[in-house]
Amino acid sequence: MPSFKLSEMAKKRAFEIAFVGLKPGVHEFSYEIDDQFFAEKGAIDISNVKASVKLFLEKHVGFMLLKFDIGGTAESNCDRCGNPLNLNLWDEFRVLVKLVDNPEEMNGSEEDPDVFYISRTESHIDVSNWIYEFVLLSIPLQRVCPPDAEGKSQCNLEALEKLREMEAKQIENNAKALWKDLDKFKEN
Ligand SMILES: [Zn+2]
C-alpha cells in the first residue's frame, strides 16, 4: 500500500529537523505522540499515551539548545491494587547539541547526559529518541490511586484483600516447604 508507506515516511521525517536551514534564534516544533510511537520503540506498561511535546530549538553558531516541554496523559494501573489509573505527564528537559569534527569520540568521552555531539557536516537532527526517552521519564514513578477529598485511599479494597490472602498463602506454603526440607535434612 503506497499511501501507508508515504505516511510512514512523512512521520519519520517529522522527527528529523533540518536545522541547517534555520536562522539563528528560537524555533518551535510540536509533536503529538500516541501509542503507536511507543509500540514502534518497544513495549512498556502504559497505554493510551496522548503526549504533546513542544520543542524549542535555539540555534547558535556551533551549538543548539533543545528544550522539550512534555505534557499530556497516559493510562496505567495502580501498583497496589491494579485499578486503572489516569496519569498526567508533565516535565521539561534540556539537551545541548554541539557541532564538532569528531562527534563519536566526543560522545564516547562525554559524561554529561544532557550534552550531545554531532558532526559539523550534519544538516539534520533526529529528535525521536529524545522524545521517547523524555516522555517515559515524565511518567510519574509512583503509580497508586490518588486519595479522595477526605484523604482516604481510593484503592480497590476487594483486590487488596485478595492480594493479602494470596501473600498469606504464599508465606504458609514457603514455611511448609521449609519444614519439609528440614525433615529431609534430619532423616539423612
Ligand atoms: Zn489502587
Could you identify the residue written with the cell 539423612? 188
Is residue 17 a contact partner of residue 124, using CB atoms and an 8 Å limit? yes
pLDDT one-digit tens code per residue, 119-163: 999 999 999 999 999 998 998 888 899 888 898 888 998 988 998
Distance CA 62, CA 40 (A): 32
Q: Is 73 helix (H, G, I), strand (E, B) or coil?
A: strand
pLDDT band of 100, cuts 50, 70, 90: very high
Instruction: Report the separation in Å between the CA atom of 81 and the middle of ligand 1, taken as the mean of its atom positions.
Output: 4
pLDDT one-digit tens code per residue, 31-86: 998 888 877 777 567 788 899 999 999 999 999 999 999 999 999 899 889 999 99
Instruction: Report the separation in Å between the CA atom of 34 and the middle of ligand 1, taken as the mean of its atom positions.
Output: 25
Q: Is 24 left (phi over 0), alpha (psi -120 to 50) or beta?
A: beta
Cβ partners under 8 Å of residue 186, min gap 6: none
DSSP assigned state of 149 = T
Instruction: Report the separation in Å between the CA atom of 164 and the middle of ligand 1, taken as the mean of its atom positions.
Output: 14
Instruction: Report the separation in Å between the CA atom of 160 and the middle of ligand 1, taken as the mean of its atom positions.
Output: 8
Q: Which of 39-48, 103-112, 177-186 has the lowest mean pLDDT?
A: 39-48
Query: Dihedrals φ, ψ of 79, to 5°?
Result: -65, -20
What's the confidence (pLDDT) of residue 188? 65
What's the confidence (pLDDT) of residue 1? 41
List the chain domain ranges.
2-145, 156-188
Distance CA 108, CA 133 (A): 19
State which of 3-12, 82-91, 93-102 shows the largest mean pLDDT: 93-102
Whole-prediction pTM value?
0.75
Could you identify the residue written with the cell 521519564? 137
Instruction: Report the separation in Å between the CA atom of 50 and the middle of ligand 1, taken as the mean of its atom positions.
Output: 22
Instruction: Report the separation in Å between the CA atom of 94 and the middle of ligand 1, taken as the mean of its atom positions.
Output: 33
Instruction: Report the separation in Å between the CA atom of 148 and the middle of ligand 1, taken as the mean of its atom positions.
Output: 12
- Residue 3: pLDDT above 60? no
Instruction: Report the separation in Å between the CA atom of 108 and the middle of ligand 1, taken as the mean of its atom positions.
Output: 43
Instruction: Report the separation in Å between the CA atom of 139 and the middle of ligand 1, taken as the mean of its atom positions.
Output: 17
Q: Distances in Å between the alpha carbon of 160 and those of 82, 83, 141, 152?
A: 9, 10, 20, 15
